[in-house]
Structure 1
Amino acid sequence: MTNLLTINAEPIREWLDGGNLNDEKQIHQLRVCIKKLRSLLRLIRDLSDADIPVTKMGDTLKSMSQCLSGQRDYDVVCGILCAKAEEEEDVSHRESFILIQKLLGQAYQTTVPEPAQLRDSGQIVVTAIDELPSIELSKKKLAEYLSANARRICKKGHKALATAGCVQLHKLRKRVKTLFYQLTILSEAGFDIDLPTKKLKKLGNRLGKIHDYCVLENMLDELRNNDATSEKIQQADWQRVQKYSNAQRQQYLTQSSKLHRKWCRQQNRVAEKA
């Protein structure tokens, strides 16, 4: 497991050698790297018999993720509004999305994360990985653990998708993404973990789309409840944007529910054959 941490930390090492926080592709790779490492640390924390010092590393990775997420959320929401504005043929409808985007730009003036702080955190992570002892996890324990998490996603997923609450769906998305990264990393390393990943990846992506529209709706609520922007947002016809967001979220919710059912049936068939 230590070797897997070392391999999957490579994007952080590359970024430390001359990363650019204005490079969207590089930042995306860094965020994925952080998610992969956190997924591996969860395996170690839950399955390792030894007292492995991973808490500080996990906390540092969480801090790095939060540091990079604010800008990402704002960029995604602006992308949604820009794309919809370009599609609109009615000028007044188009203006609603453009004005909301401008208001968000004024209210959420996110700044690029401080490079020195992020580099310090990245160095803490790679140093901690280099200092770890050799970690061996039983293949049997791994298989049982991953299968149990797959069953948990099926059980809890039905409820989350039925209630359709943003918080519950976000938790489900994190569970799905964590399991997907764990399965993918172990499979690439030669572990024979007989659980399907293709539909799991699609499910995570659809749940991610739902999260994006939940973020948009939260931002709209904050604009409406802010004395400095409440009058301006009324002029921008925020209800039109809200209606569009709700419709898109419902569409992805329907897709997610269908994918969830298919993936659960698929992994249940695999479990029956085992």
Structure 2
Amino acid sequence: MEIERKFLLKNSQILDFLKEAGVVFKHLEISQFYTKITQNEEIRFRSEEGKFIKTIKVGKDLIREENEEFCEKAEFKKALKNRIGRVITKDRYIFRLNNNPCNIDVFKDGLNGLCTFEIEFSDENEAIYFKLPAFLEQFCKADVTCDKRYKNKFLAIHANENEQIDYKRAYNVFKNKEILPNFAANLKSGEALRALFLSIFKEIKRLKSDYLQDHDEEILHNLRVNLRKIRSLLKIFNGVFDEKVTLFFGENFKILANSTNKKRDLDIFLGFLSEQKHANELIYFVQKALNLEYENVKSYLSDEENYAFLKEWEIFLNEGEFYRSKLFDVSLSRLGSFKLRTLLVLAQKRLKSLDQDCQNESFHKIRIELKKVRYTYEFLSEIFYFDGLKKYEERLKDMQEIFGALQDYDVWLGILERLPEAAGKEKLESKIYKQIYKTREEILKKRLKFIKATRKISRNLKIYYI
């Protein structure tokens, strides 16, 4: 049984004070991580002085049941691969206060600057009525015994949510330097999104300028992806910014992205036609349509009126605090895990309902959901760590591409339907229908394994917001 109180320290100066008072410390360099985290239980692995220790703790707050045993290095290394969250590193200074075991932890690496003081007791009453000696009070910020934010398991997945971050300075650095933001788990969601949107906005301006000069299809594709990414993330993270503002910008980014849709569809279809035999007449018609659409896109992207809302978008990014809503201050790890898991659960439900009788429209809705999952995961990938995440990322990409191919085949049939009669048209339609059937079968074949993998990822994400 473990009975202890924990206090948040202002800094590590207490160590110098105690040393001058004659206190002798035992110093340990500790590295630890978790393989199980729930509200009431945790499994922790720790390395100290060349020893490896596995600990199971049950309970919370003042009193917890603790079972500790030594383990082999091989078991420790295997567990490390299956860890949840970050590896915590810290210097521990062990001593006694009135014969009570005490320790001061000075955290390192991603938790640098965090310091805590813990004191153990032999019974609950002693712990409840303990009062910090006056000479220690001056070094303490708060009693955090019952504050879950300072539990090591919480720090492993959320970092230090009370860390003081100069968001204004960080934003100005991103604004004026050509660097990409690096997102930490303890960032405010609103501030993280502002930094991400600023990064994407700078890329959009560059891509638009490059396309109007070079008319390169890859540049146009990347422009469209970035426009859709902003729109999707605004919608997914609803509640972070003012609702009216979110809807206004979401709709305008949608219109701008959609202005390139026809050209993209014709480009892809023309690439397919160029690989077919006896399709010269169809290629001629599609090329004519593509030339016309090229002029439409060029004209649309050259008209500054269509970009007028981006000036307001820049104001919004610079003054994001003004447009904040109820979820703005929620940590990125908590809100991000909830939003990503919500998307996964929805995709999972829709995948389960798919069968051979479903119309293609049902498949296309799932394609959109998977795209949202991908955008959200790309944004949050650096703040989550648990077994199977990287493998799932590859599986998600594969499924999205298969669903995307099915969407393309459907679009091609629509293009063919609008084209004049031409040699090989009927045969080509038949070929596309066969591809649709084959792709649907592939999706239905892979969906059960994908659902199983999605369920596992979903369960692990839940840990981050319980």
TM-score by length of 1: 0.80
Among candidates 201, 214, 226, match of residue 33 of structure 1 = 226
Match of 1:220 in 2: 416
Structure 2 matches for 1:124-273, cutoff 5 A?
Answer: 124-125=309-310, 127-132=312-317, 133-134=320-321, 135-138=328-331, 139-160=333-354, 162-187=356-381, 190-192=382-384, 196-223=392-419, 229=420, 232-233=421-422, 236-272=423-459
* One-letter amino acid of the structure 1 residue matched with residue 282 of structure 2: I
- When the two structures are aligned, how many residues end up with a matched partner? 251
Q: Deviations over 1:130-149 (max 9, x none)?
A: 42414444432331232122
Shift of 1:50: 4.8
1:257/1:3 CA distance change after superposition, 3 Å: same
The alignment partner of 2:215 has SS state of coil
Q: Distance between the aligned counterparts of 1:49 and 1:72, measured in 2?
A: 32
Question: Does 2:285 align with 1:100?
Answer: no
TM-score by length of 2: 0.49
Q: Which has the larger radius of gyration?
A: 2
Structure 1 pair 51–245 and aligned structure 2 pair: CA distance change class (3 A) = closer
1:75-132 superposed Cα distances (whole Å, 9 cap, x missing partner): 111111111x2xxxxxxxx21x322232334566423312323x54445236414424
Structure 2 CA distance for partners of 1:271 and 1:44, relative to 1, 3 Å:
closer
Structure number with the higher strand fraction is 2
Letter in 2 for 1:116: S
Deviation at 1:14, TM superposition (A): 1.0
Q: Distance in 2 between matches of 1:254 and 1:129?
A: 46
With over 3 angstroms needed to count, the CA separation of the structure-2 counterparts of 1:10 and 1:256, relative to structure 1, is farther
CA distance in 1, matches of 2:314, 2:356: 40
Residue number in structure 2 paired with 1:81: 273
With over 3 angstroms needed to count, the CA separation of the structure-2 counterparts of 1:50 and 1:218, relative to structure 1, is closer
Distance 1:34 1:136, change over 3 A: farther
Runs of 4+ in 1 over 6 A off after TM superposition: none
Gaps spanning 5+ residues in structure 2: where? Answer: 1-192, 322-327
> Are residues 197 and 123 of structure 1, via their aligned partners in 2, closer, same or farther at CA, if it must alter by over 3 Å?
farther
**C-alpha deviations, 1:7-29, integer Å up to 9, x for none?**
12222121355542611121111
The 2-side partners of 1:41 and 1:73 are apart by 25
CA distance 1:212–1:129, shift in 2 (3 Å): same
The alignment's C-alpha RMSD in Å is: 2.6
Distance in 1, matches of 2:286 and 2:205, equals: 34
